[in-house]
Protein backbone atom coordinates (compact mmCIF):
# COMPACT_ATOMS: atom_id res chain seq x y z
CA UNK A 1 0.00 0.00 0.00
CA UNK A 2 1.27 3.45 -0.83
CA UNK A 3 0.69 6.64 1.08
CA UNK A 4 -1.49 8.95 -1.01
CA UNK A 5 -2.38 11.80 1.30
CA UNK A 6 -1.68 13.15 4.73
CA UNK A 7 -3.98 15.70 6.35
CA UNK A 8 -2.82 17.37 9.55
CA UNK A 9 -4.93 19.68 11.68
CA UNK A 10 -4.02 21.06 15.10
CA UNK A 11 -1.00 18.74 15.33
CA UNK A 12 2.20 20.47 16.52
CA UNK A 13 2.93 23.48 14.29
CA UNK A 14 0.06 22.70 11.85
CA UNK A 15 -2.60 24.99 13.29
CA UNK A 16 -4.63 25.16 10.06
CA UNK A 17 -5.65 22.02 8.22
CA UNK A 18 -2.82 21.15 5.83
CA UNK A 19 -2.95 18.38 3.24
CA UNK A 20 0.08 16.80 1.62
CA UNK A 21 -0.29 14.67 -1.51
CA UNK A 22 2.22 11.97 -2.31
CA UNK A 23 2.10 11.13 -6.01
CA UNK A 24 3.81 7.97 -7.23
CA UNK A 25 7.57 7.97 -7.05
CA UNK A 26 9.68 9.59 -4.39
CA UNK A 27 8.56 12.73 -2.54
CA UNK A 28 10.76 15.17 -0.69
CA UNK A 29 9.79 17.86 1.79
CA UNK A 30 12.05 20.86 1.78
CA UNK A 31 12.01 23.90 4.02
CA UNK A 32 14.01 26.07 6.39
CA UNK A 33 14.96 24.96 9.89
CA UNK A 34 12.02 24.73 12.22
CA UNK A 35 9.36 24.94 9.50
CA UNK A 36 7.81 21.61 10.52
CA UNK A 37 9.43 18.92 8.32
CA UNK A 38 10.03 16.55 11.20
CA UNK A 39 6.52 17.31 12.52
CA UNK A 40 5.21 15.67 9.33
CA UNK A 41 7.09 12.47 10.14
CA UNK A 42 5.84 12.72 13.75
CA UNK A 43 2.27 13.04 12.42
CA UNK A 44 2.68 9.83 10.39
CA UNK A 45 4.18 8.01 13.35
CA UNK A 46 1.37 9.28 15.59
CA UNK A 47 -1.52 8.30 13.33
CA UNK A 48 -0.01 4.81 13.05
CA UNK A 49 -0.55 4.52 16.80
CA UNK A 50 2.64 5.70 18.52
CA UNK A 51 2.01 5.68 22.30
CA UNK A 52 5.31 7.09 23.50
CA UNK A 53 5.42 10.90 23.51
CA UNK A 54 9.22 10.84 23.54
CA UNK A 55 9.26 9.13 20.15
CA UNK A 56 7.33 12.18 18.98
CA UNK A 57 9.87 14.51 20.57
CA UNK A 58 7.52 15.53 23.38
CA UNK A 59 7.26 14.95 27.14
CA UNK A 60 3.55 14.30 27.26
CA UNK A 61 1.13 13.17 24.56
CA UNK A 62 -0.70 16.50 24.88
CA UNK A 63 2.42 18.20 23.51
CA UNK A 64 1.30 17.16 20.04
CA UNK A 65 -1.72 19.50 20.17
CA UNK A 66 -1.01 22.97 18.76
CA UNK A 67 -0.16 24.97 21.85
CA UNK A 68 -0.48 28.49 20.50
CA UNK A 69 1.78 31.10 19.00
CA UNK A 70 2.01 34.88 19.18
CA UNK A 71 -0.81 35.21 16.67
CA UNK A 72 -2.93 32.13 17.39
CA UNK A 73 -4.60 30.67 20.42
CA UNK A 74 -3.93 27.03 21.38
CA UNK A 75 -6.30 24.48 19.87
CA UNK A 76 -8.33 21.88 21.73
CA UNK A 77 -7.76 18.98 19.37
CA UNK A 78 -5.15 17.42 17.10
CA UNK A 79 -6.18 15.32 14.14
CA UNK A 80 -4.13 13.43 11.57
CA UNK A 81 -5.64 11.51 8.65
CA UNK A 82 -3.43 9.25 6.55
CA UNK A 83 -4.76 7.82 3.29
CA UNK A 84 -3.32 4.76 1.56
CA UNK A 85 -4.13 3.72 -1.98
CA UNK A 86 -5.31 0.13 -2.34
CA UNK A 87 -5.28 0.05 -6.16
CA UNK A 88 -3.16 -3.07 -6.18
CA UNK A 89 -5.45 -4.81 -3.67
CA UNK A 90 -2.62 -5.38 -1.22
CA UNK A 91 -4.68 -4.51 1.86
CA UNK A 92 -6.14 -7.29 4.04
CA UNK A 93 -9.10 -9.11 2.45
CA UNK A 94 -11.76 -7.23 4.44
CA UNK A 95 -10.70 -4.01 2.70
CA UNK A 96 -10.72 -5.56 -0.77
CA UNK A 97 -13.64 -3.38 -1.90
CA UNK A 98 -11.94 -0.14 -0.89
CA UNK A 99 -9.69 1.68 -3.31
CA UNK A 100 -8.44 3.83 -0.42
CA UNK A 101 -7.87 3.11 3.24
CA UNK A 102 -7.99 6.06 5.54
CA UNK A 103 -6.80 5.91 9.12
CA UNK A 104 -7.37 8.79 11.49
CA UNK A 105 -6.41 9.65 15.05
CA UNK A 106 -7.70 12.46 17.23
CA UNK A 107 -6.63 13.66 20.62
CA UNK A 108 -8.55 16.23 22.67
CA UNK A 109 -7.11 18.32 25.46
CA UNK A 110 -9.61 16.62 27.75
CA UNK A 111 -7.53 13.46 27.19
CA UNK A 112 -10.13 11.75 25.02
CA UNK A 113 -8.60 9.91 22.11
CA UNK A 114 -10.19 8.41 19.00
CA UNK A 115 -9.09 6.20 16.12
CA UNK A 116 -10.92 5.61 12.86
CA UNK A 117 -10.46 3.28 9.90
CA UNK A 118 -12.38 4.47 6.85
CA UNK A 119 -14.33 6.81 9.16
CA UNK A 120 -15.50 3.93 11.37
CA UNK A 121 -14.51 4.33 15.05
CA UNK A 122 -11.85 1.70 15.71
CA UNK A 123 -9.46 0.52 18.36
CA UNK A 124 -5.72 1.11 18.32
CA UNK A 125 -5.40 -2.69 18.05
CA UNK A 126 -7.32 -2.63 14.72
CA UNK A 127 -4.86 -0.12 13.30
CA UNK A 128 -1.85 -2.09 14.54
CA UNK A 129 -3.33 -5.30 13.07
CA UNK A 130 -4.01 -3.61 9.75
CA UNK A 131 -0.33 -2.87 9.37
CA UNK A 132 1.23 -5.99 10.86
CA UNK A 133 3.77 -7.21 8.37
CA UNK A 134 3.30 -4.42 5.89
CA UNK A 135 6.47 -2.80 7.16
CA UNK A 136 4.39 0.23 8.07
CA UNK A 137 4.23 0.77 11.77
CA UNK A 138 5.44 3.08 14.48
CA UNK A 139 8.55 0.99 15.12
CA UNK A 140 8.86 -0.55 11.68
CA UNK A 141 11.76 -0.19 9.30
CA UNK A 142 9.61 2.01 7.09
CA UNK A 143 10.31 5.14 9.11
CA UNK A 144 14.05 5.63 9.00
CA UNK A 145 15.16 8.92 10.43
CA UNK A 146 18.45 10.67 10.65
CA UNK A 147 20.75 8.56 12.80
CA UNK A 148 18.81 5.36 12.21
CA UNK A 149 20.85 4.33 9.19
CA UNK A 150 23.88 4.29 11.47
CA UNK A 151 21.88 2.32 14.03
CA UNK A 152 20.92 -0.23 11.38
CA UNK A 153 24.52 -0.75 10.36
CA UNK A 154 25.73 -1.05 13.94
CA UNK A 155 22.73 -3.07 15.19
CA UNK A 156 23.16 -6.47 16.79
CA UNK A 157 22.44 -9.38 14.44
CA UNK A 158 19.18 -10.20 16.35
CA UNK A 159 17.94 -6.62 15.97
CA UNK A 160 18.72 -6.64 12.28
CA UNK A 161 17.00 -10.02 11.99
CA UNK A 162 13.76 -8.48 13.38
CA UNK A 163 13.79 -5.93 10.60
CA UNK A 164 14.33 -8.58 7.92
CA UNK A 165 11.62 -10.75 9.42
CA UNK A 166 9.15 -7.93 9.35
CA UNK A 167 10.03 -7.16 5.74
CA UNK A 168 9.65 -10.85 4.87
CA UNK A 169 6.15 -10.84 6.38
CA UNK A 170 6.61 -13.69 8.85
CA UNK A 171 5.84 -11.75 12.03
CA UNK A 172 2.19 -12.70 12.07
CA UNK A 173 3.14 -16.38 12.31
CA UNK A 174 5.26 -15.89 15.40
CA UNK A 175 2.40 -15.77 17.94
CA UNK A 176 1.01 -18.94 16.32
CA UNK A 177 4.40 -20.62 16.60
CA UNK A 178 4.63 -19.62 20.29
CA UNK A 179 1.12 -20.95 20.98
CA UNK A 180 1.94 -24.26 19.23
CA UNK A 181 5.16 -24.52 21.22
CA UNK A 182 3.28 -23.95 24.49
CA UNK A 183 0.78 -26.69 23.56
CA UNK A 184 3.65 -29.05 22.73
CA UNK A 185 5.34 -28.32 26.09
CA UNK A 186 2.12 -29.01 27.95
CA UNK A 187 1.61 -32.24 25.98
CA UNK A 188 5.19 -33.25 26.89
CA UNK A 189 4.50 -32.61 30.58
CA UNK A 190 1.36 -34.73 30.35
CA UNK A 191 3.41 -37.52 28.75
CA UNK A 192 5.95 -37.43 31.58
CA UNK A 193 3.11 -37.60 34.13
CA UNK A 194 1.50 -40.51 32.30
CA UNK A 195 4.77 -42.48 32.06
CA UNK A 196 5.22 -41.93 35.85
CA UNK A 197 1.76 -43.39 36.41
CA UNK A 198 2.50 -46.31 34.05
CA UNK A 199 5.75 -47.00 35.99
CA UNK A 200 3.88 -46.94 39.31
CA UNK A 201 1.12 -49.24 38.05
CA UNK A 202 3.78 -51.63 36.66
CA UNK A 203 5.48 -51.76 40.06
CA UNK A 204 2.14 -52.54 41.72
CA UNK A 205 1.42 -55.21 39.09
CA UNK A 206 4.80 -56.87 39.65
CA UNK A 207 4.29 -56.93 43.37
CA UNK A 208 0.76 -58.39 42.96
CA UNK A 209 2.14 -60.99 40.51
CA UNK A 210 4.76 -61.99 43.08
CA UNK A 211 2.10 -62.31 45.77
CA UNK A 212 -0.12 -64.37 43.44
CA UNK A 213 2.76 -66.77 42.68
CA UNK A 214 3.35 -67.60 46.35
CA UNK A 215 2.32 -71.18 47.04
CA UNK A 216 -1.28 -71.25 48.29
CA UNK A 217 -0.48 -73.92 50.87
CA UNK A 218 2.13 -71.75 52.47
CA UNK A 219 -0.43 -69.06 52.91
CA UNK A 220 -2.96 -71.49 54.33
CA UNK A 221 -0.36 -72.79 56.74
CA UNK A 222 0.56 -69.28 57.69
CA UNK A 223 -3.05 -68.33 58.44
CA UNK A 224 -3.79 -71.51 60.32
Q: Work out which of 24, 33, 209, 223 binds ligand ATP, going by CB under 6 A.
A: 33
Is residue 39 a contact point for ligand ATP (CB under 6 A)? yes
- Nearest alpha-carbon partner for 52 in 63, 60, 40, 64: 60
Chain positions 53 to 82 lying near ligand ATP, rule: CB under 6 A, are 63, 65-67
Residues 78, 66 contacting (CB under 8 angstroms): yes
Is residue 38 a contact point for Mg ion (CB under 5 A)? yes
Residues in the chain: 224
| Interior angle at CA 118, CA 114 and CA 122, nearest 5 | 35
- With CB cut-offs between 5 and 8 Å by kind, which of ligand ATP, Mg ion, none does residue 25 bind? none
Q: What value does the CA radius of gyration of the chain take, rounded to a whole number of Å?
A: 31
Nearer to ligand ATP, 61 or 155 (CB): 61
| Selected range binding ligand ATP among 27-35, 121-129, 130-138, 178-186, rule: CB under 6 A | 27-35
- With CB cut-offs between 5 and 8 Å by kind, which of ligand ATP, Mg ion, none does residue 66 bind? ligand ATP
Rounded least distance, CB 163 to Mg ion, Å: 23
Residues 87, 98 contacting (CB under 8 angstroms): no
Rounded least distance, CB 65 to Mg ion, Å: 19
The span from the CA of 42 to the CA of 17, in Å, is 16
For the chain, the first-to-last Cα distance in angstroms comes to: 94
Could you list the residues that contact ligand ATP (CB under 6 A)?
12-13, 31, 33-39, 63, 65-67
Could you list the residues that contact Mg ion (CB under 5 A)?
37-38
Amino acid sequence: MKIKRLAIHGFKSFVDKTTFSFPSGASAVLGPNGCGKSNIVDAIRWVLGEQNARHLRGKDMHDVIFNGSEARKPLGMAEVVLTFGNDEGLAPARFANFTEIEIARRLYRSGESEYFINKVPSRLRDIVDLFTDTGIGTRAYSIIEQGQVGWLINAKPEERRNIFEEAAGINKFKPKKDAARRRLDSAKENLVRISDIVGEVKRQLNSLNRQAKRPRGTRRCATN
